[in-house]
Structures are given as structure tokens and as C-alpha cells.
Amino acid sequence: MSEHGLLPFVDAWSVDIDAPPRAVWEALLTAGPASRAGTAIQFWARLLGCDPREHNGLAPHRIGAERPGFAVCEAVPATTYALTGRHRFAIYQLVFRITQPEGVGSRLTAETFASFPGAAGRVYRTLVINARPHALVMWLTLRMLRRRAEALARRQDARSA
């Protein structure tokens, strides 16, 4: 179950990042699922009937900030960034956790919690979770965030040198 006991655990993916937690946090806010919504994301949000469906204009670190498919439900700088949402086939929560394991700059973990109500939800789970597209998206997302955080850390190091 999710931290609040509402949604069952689906999966978790992690990546080690050669950057401090603050750089990982900034990468999450500027490039993660709650960032500016592109045309493809808006298309999928409408197709799936996502709630929320639109960007509400709040900064991505604010509780209640909305982007197509996601709303920020927890934001603890450089530690936890949690998003929630729903659509026709699922109710979900995506929790990003930033930790500092020994010998690594940071570790970013993305945990997914979701329920898939009804027959349509079961079919959706089979197509998206069991058939692995969700895993691919999470893998690509974490690697993109790693690249952005490491580039940000290099720029910050260059400025302070």
C-alpha cells in the first residue's frame, strides 16, 4: 500500500546519480512528470480522461500544482516529490525519493502505487504494467533525470570554482 494505505504498490525503479540531492531535486522540478506539458502529454491526458487534465499555473514545487495527469501531493525539497492522478482506467501515485547512499552522490527512486478498477482497469493493467511499457517509461525517465541532474551539478561546480 502507498504511504497513506490507499493504493497498492506496483513497482519501484532506482538510479544512482553523480550529483548532490539539491541538483536531483531541481532536475525533478524542471524535467519530471510535473513539468511543462507537451502536446503528446496533453493528447494522452485527453484520450485517457486524466484528472487533472490541465496545467493550473502553480510552480511544480507547490502542493496542488497540476499538470496533465498529475497533481503534486507532497514536496519535501531534496527528499520526496509525490504526484497523484487518475484516469478512466487507473488511480495512481508516483513517489520520487532522493537519498544519499554511501559512496554515491544521490540515489533517485521512483515508486508507483495504483489501483485499476473494473474490467477496463484490468485490461489496462495487462497492457501497460504487465506488458512492460510502464517499466520502459520509468527507466527512460530516471535516466533523463540523471543526465539533467549531473549536467546541473557540473554547471554549479563550474560556477563555484
pLDDT above 70 for 111: yes
CA distances from 134 to 10, 129, 130 (A): 10, 5, 8
86-99 burial, b for 16+ CB within 10 Å, e for fewer? bbebbbbbbbbbbe
Q: Is residue 48 part of a domain?
A: yes
Q: Is residue 125 part of a domain?
A: yes
Question: Tens of pLDDT along 52-107?
Answer: 988 888 888 899 999 888 999 999 999 999 999 999 999 999 999 999 988 779 99
Q: Is residue 2 part of a domain?
A: no
C-alpha cell at 105: 552522490
Question: Sign of torsion, CA 131 43 122 3?
Answer: positive
Q: Is residue 161 part of a domain?
A: no
Domain that holds residue 82: 9-155
Q: Is residue 82 part of a domain?
A: yes
> In 3D, which of 39, 53, 56 has the Cα closest to residue 88?
53
d(CA 128, CA 121): 10
More reliable by pLDDT, 111 or 34: 111
Q: Is residue 61 part of a domain?
A: yes
If pLDDT is split at 50, 70 and 90, which confidence band does 37 have? low
Please state at what angle helix 133-160 crosses helix 21-31, rounded to 10 degrees.
120
Between strands 66-67 and 90-99, the pairing is unpaired
Give percent of the chain with pLDDT exceeding 70: 91
More reliable by pLDDT, 43 or 95: 95
Averaged pLDDT for residues 9-27: 96
pLDDT above 60 for 33: no
Q: Is residue 17 part of a domain?
A: yes
If pLDDT is split at 50, 70 and 90, which confidence band does 32 have? very low
Mean pLDDT score of the chain: 89
Q: What is the CATH number of the domain that holds 119?
A: 3.30.530.20
Q: Is residue 160 part of a domain?
A: no
Averaged pLDDT for residues 107-113: 97
pLDDT reported for residue 44: 83
Question: What domain count does the chain have?
Answer: 1
